[in-house]
Structure 1
Amino acid sequence: MKNLKAKKNRKAYIYLTPALISITVLSILPMLYTIFIAFTNYSLKNQNYGYGTAAGWKIVGLYQFQQILTGALKSQFFPLLLWTLIFTALSTFGSYFIGLIFAMCLSDKNMKESFIYKGLLVIPWALPGAITIVSFRGLFNSQYGSINLMLQQLHLIKEPIMWLTTPFAARLAVILISLWIGFPYMMNVCMGAISAIPDTHYEAADLDGATGFQKFTKITLPSLAKTSYPLLISNFAFNFNNFNSAYLLTDGGPSKAGSSFAGWTDILGSATYKMSTLQGNFALGAAMSILLFLIIGTLSIINMNISGQFKESEG
């Protein structure tokens, strides 16, 4: 029996070996290397001189983290973190509530042509995100963009809005694009969850004389909670590091006075990319990526504790 069991285990390891090698090479080793680099002064200027030489790179301990949290970059990092949190919260919860509104409308049995609207509303999700964002870059153009032209024809504005060149308008544009790309996914999830709610619940509420708002707050929202919590947590983590919206639309701009690596629309993910690839400070970029991971992990754990996800798993 032992020989048979050992033979089965060896056979299982043979099948798992390609996957384990891929995970090790593509995930584990880069993560370990990033952690190592974060404790050095490795950069584009000293990388060719080798490790440990006089002009080369070496281990400097927590110096990079001190630069970010308490040193010269402190005044840039914490405003960047605040904007990242604001952007993430508005993108996540805004997409969810827009998707929920559309899901409730399309789930109405009296809407006979709902399948047409479902097909149209899912288009932003079906298109590649990068193509969508680059297209919006033209739509938001202050001189010939269709958005400004439409707003002027509707007499909502008199002068063109400088969407991509002024701080507030650029940040608003980034959030609007995130909502546009994100709401179809939320809509589809909410529609599936709503369809799973038994009609008898609403029929009983009608017999009790409940209003539409009462049915929404007492039946629909509680029924959506179990589906919504994991969805919102995962989407929050995704938006926190949503590189595309911030970088492809505005390149992180407009530029911010006093900031050496981040513009007004940059979030932590895009700022880390700029620090590493554009400025060549790989050690500082690695340290920022570790802080980014710690922040996302901490917020996810807090959200899971609040929503009771761990208790549900243990039960």
Structure 2
Amino acid sequence: MSTAPAAANAANIRAIRARRFRNTVYGWIFAAPFTLFFAVTFVVPIIVSIYQAFFTTKSVGGGLYGDGERVTSFSGLDNFEAVVTNGDFWVGMGRVLLFAAFQIPVMIISALVLALVLDSYLIRRVTVFRLGYFLPYAIPGVVAAMVWLYIYSPHLGPLTDLTGINFFGKNIILASMANMTTWTFTGYNMLVFLAALQAIPTDLYEAARLDGASGFQIATRIKIPMLSGAALLTVLLSIIGTIQLFNEPTIMASSQAWMGKNYTPMMMAYNTMMTSPGDPHMASAISIVMALIAGGLAAVYAFVQTRVDK
């Protein structure tokens, strides 16, 4: 009598395990295309870049013109030492950090305000406004930078005549690029905040209204404090993106020769690689140092944010 229930339980356990195994297999099958694509386009290039950064390619022989055989040899940390002792690299890094210091707060605050407005009862056609704010992000970065280059141009665009400002001046060009970046990414960050706002239980709002709270008090005392996670995400992405600032200064430099090829660290890495003869090893070292700086800044901000939230 006791063997039948035991056998049934064993069969049920085997069936459950078999079902879990099938679900795991199906999950990996569905995830395989993304995993493969992610590895090929993201993980493998990072590994190759790290590997290349520890080598140097030099011409051996060839006489006066140095057109002999190119030999690649292990150089250890020499490329990294060359990067961290390069004054142009740190001047460019200083520019992007200054850029981030005033561009990121303006963009994040603007995105937060737009999200709060769309989440309130002030806007009826939320979809139309949400799409309109997001559209600049859908425009390719290079195309958007070219459009703003035209708008800023004193000979073609209207802004110079209306404002009397030289948007290509050495003291104002960072602000001009910041305006381009803010215009592009504010809508994207707004959607992050809006998604976080819509995840807040509406019971909290109803309880606050019953206690006599105004819409402004609900926004400042309930909504904004509960957006710390979204704010952390948007600021971290903005820090990483700012360290990689490339499209805007590259397009600007096409008409402003005084900016040079090393105006930002990303431009320096790109031109080191693409200018003949290209040096992929030094470009890889520049990229890795940039990544370490971006990761360090992001980690510091995340640590400070979590400490403040406590």
Q: Please report the TM-score for the alignment, with normalisation by the length of structure 1.
A: 0.73
Deviation at 1:295, TM superposition (A): 1.3
Partner deviation per Cα, 1:203-254 (whole Å, 9 max, x = no partner): 5545656566654432221111122212321232123213222223434955
RMSD between aligned residues: 3.8
Equivalent of 2:82 in 58, 67, 92: 67
**Aligned residue number for residue 50 of structure 2:** 35
Give secondary structure in 1 for the equivalent of 2:166. coil
Q: Report what 1:270 is aligned to.
A: 267
Deviation at 1:200, TM superposition (A): 4.8
For the structure 1 residues 69 and 127, does the alpha-carbon distance in structure 2 shift closer, same or farther, using more than 3 Å as the test?
closer
Contact 2:107–2:182 at 8 Å: present in 1 too?
yes
Does residue 1:234 correspond to 2:237, yes or no?
yes
Cα distance in 2, alignment partners of residues 253 and 281 from structure 1 = 25
Mapping 1:61-210, distance limit 5 Å: 61-70=76-85, 73=86, 75-149=87-161, 151=162, 156-157=163-164, 161-164=165-168, 166-202=169-205, 204-205=207-208
Query: Alpha-carbon deviations, 1:180-211, whole Å to 9, x = none?
Result: 00100122222232333345544554565656
Amino acid at match of 1:289: S
Distance in 1, matches of 2:212 and 2:42, equals: 57
Unmatched 5+ stretches in structure 2: 1-13
Residue 71 of structure 2 aligns to a residue whose secondary structure is coil
The 1:199–1:56 alpha-carbon spacing in structure 2 relative to 1, beyond 3 Å, is closer
**Are 1:167 and 1:254, in contact at CA under 8 Å, matched by a contact in 2?**
no
Q: Which residue in the other structure is 1:296 paired with?
A: 294
Aligned equivalents of 1:62 and 1:98: distance in 2? 43
Contact 1:91 1:239 in 2 (8 A): no
Using the alignment, how far apart are the partners of 1:113 and 1:284 within structure 2? 52
Contact 2:50-2:288 at 8 Å conserved across structures: yes
The structure with the larger Rg is 2
CA–CA distance in 2 between the matches of 1:162 and 1:108?
39
Q: List gaps (5 residues or longer) in structure 1.
A: none
* Superposed displacement of residue 288, structure 1: 0.6
* Distance apart, 1:262 and its partner CA: 1.2
% identity of equivalent residues = 21
User: Helix, strand or coil: the match of 1:255?
Assistant: helix
- 1:59-84: CA deviations, max 9, x gaps? 332222222223xx2x2222221222
Greater Cα offset, 14-23 or 96-105:
14-23
Distance 1:18 1:122, change over 3 A: closer
* Counterpart Cα distance in 2 of 1:236 and 1:175: 13
Give the Cα–Cα distance (whole angstroms) in 2 for the partners of residues 122 and 20 of structure 1: 28
- Per the normalisation by structure 2, the TM-score is 0.74
- Which secondary structure does the structure 1 equivalent of 2:172 belong to? helix
Query: Does the 8 A contact of 1:65 with 1:287 survive in 2?
Result: yes
Aligned AA for 2:170?
A: P
Sort the Cα spacing of 1:295 and 1:253 in 2 relative to 1 into closer, same or farther, 3 A. farther
Cα deviation digits, residues 268-304 of structure 1 (max 9, x gap): 2222111221252332211111101111222233333
List aligned pairs for 1:248-267, cutoff 5 A: 248-251=251-254, 253-256=256-259, 261-263=261-263, 266=264
Is 1:224 the equivalent of 2:221?
no
